[in-house]
Amino acid sequence: MKIKDLIKEFNNFAPLYLQEDFDNSGLNVGNPDEEIKGVLLTVDITPEVVEEAIENNCNFIVSHHPLIFGKLKKITGSDYVEKSIILAIKNDISIYCGHTNFDQVFYGVSSKICDKLGLINRNILAPKPGILKKIAVFVPVDYAETVRNAMFNSGAGHVGNYDCCSYNTEGKGSFCGNDSTNPFVGKKGEVHFENEVKIEMIYPEYLERQILDSMINVHPYEEVAYDLIKLENANNYVGLGMVGHLENEKNEKQLLDEIKKQFGLTTLRHSQFLNNPVKKIAVCGGSGAFLINAAKNSGADVFVSADIKYHDYFLAENKILLVDIGHYESEQFTKEIFYDIIMKKNINFAVRFSKINTNPIKNY
Ligand SMILES: [Zn+2]
């Protein structure tokens, strides 16, 4: 398997289109045409992680946090980023980073935290608006099924847990081709009326090119008529953070003990106890303080995240228990998402979890 083949699997799971503007997910270093000899999974890239990859004959490192964030003006080895790049290139190691694109998908970073806490009935905490579109295409009746199926197969027509969603209305289309046309039905220079089906489907914007290509490919008309419409609907299956329920309610201290156990913590920070039973929990892997109000509005009893600052804790306002478990700690299981994607394929190389704890923050 080549590096680009695995990257395709990652992108199918968490399209790069979904990453935030500040982010740099994707292939950071290396050659996508190389055969994979071994994969090393990590949260961060440091020179020590690249050394670990070399020692274990892994020529592909898959990291949650990007190695390269800002613009690089030189690569002289003056800091850990430049050192890692030099070491990787010298040893033919490629580096892929799956960061905020993996935060945005339903089974991504926050979902992993829900798994560890045993949360059920989950929803995205802050669904992402502005990524849904609708296509309406006009097809002669006999070709409607073929065109519809091509669009379904390329990713259109998914609504929640439902596939193959479309709306179909029959009507009459008219057209008149000029001298340079070769119409599929009717004659050039004459107005023709044809029984057509208007097929409407919803789709995420990032699939637009492939949906249009496959639709046009099977459509019989020389000039295919279609409308593309931007929707205001939020996509409830894409967005940041997640909220779910405990199967059996706990008190706050029981929950914090469970979190410590599941995430291997010796300590954590939290806001004032409310002394309420805990049933509904919101989570966000990494720096999630910007979702405190969304967590409160969701009716969650607790919000588990990281990088919560002093002033952020005041936002709890005796309405929610804020819990900061640490940035690295909250994202440590993201490696398992990469692992599961790889293991679904037929592979002939080893996949290892890095043994290096790259967390730069230590507790004493
Ligand atoms: Zn992070």
pLDDT higher than threshold 90 for residue 298: yes
Identify which of 339, 341, 345 has the alpha carbon closest to the alpha carbon of residue 40.
339
Identify which of 226, 135, 213 has the alpha carbon closest to the alpha carbon of residue 173.
226
pLDDT higher than threshold 90 for residue 363: no
pLDDT higher than threshold 90 for residue 322: yes
Q: What is the pLDDT of residue 330?
A: 97
Contact assessment for residue 294 and residue 259, using Cβ atoms and an 8 Å cutoff: no
- Which residue segments constitute the domains of the chain, with CATH numbers given? 3-98+333-353 (3.40.1390.30), 105-127+239-330 (3.40.1390.30), 131-231 (3.30.70.120)
The Cα–Cα gap between 266 and 257 comes to 10
Q: Which residues surround ligand 1, an ion (CB under 5 A)?
A: 286, 331
Q: What is the pLDDT of residue 130?
A: 84
pLDDT higher than threshold 90 for residue 78: yes
What does R_g of the chain's alpha carbons equal in angstroms?
A: 25
The SS3 call for residue 95 is strand
The Cα–Cα gap between 17 and 25 comes to 10
Instruction: Tell me, in angstroms, the distance from the centre of ligand 1 to residue 287's CA.
Output: 7
Interval 52-65: pLDDT, tens: 999 999 999 999 99
Q: What is the pLDDT of residue 199?
A: 98
Instruction: Tell me, in angstroms, the distance from the centre of ligand 1 to residue 133's CA.
Output: 30
Instruction: Tell me, in angstroms, the distance from the centre of ligand 1 to residue 331's CA.
Output: 6
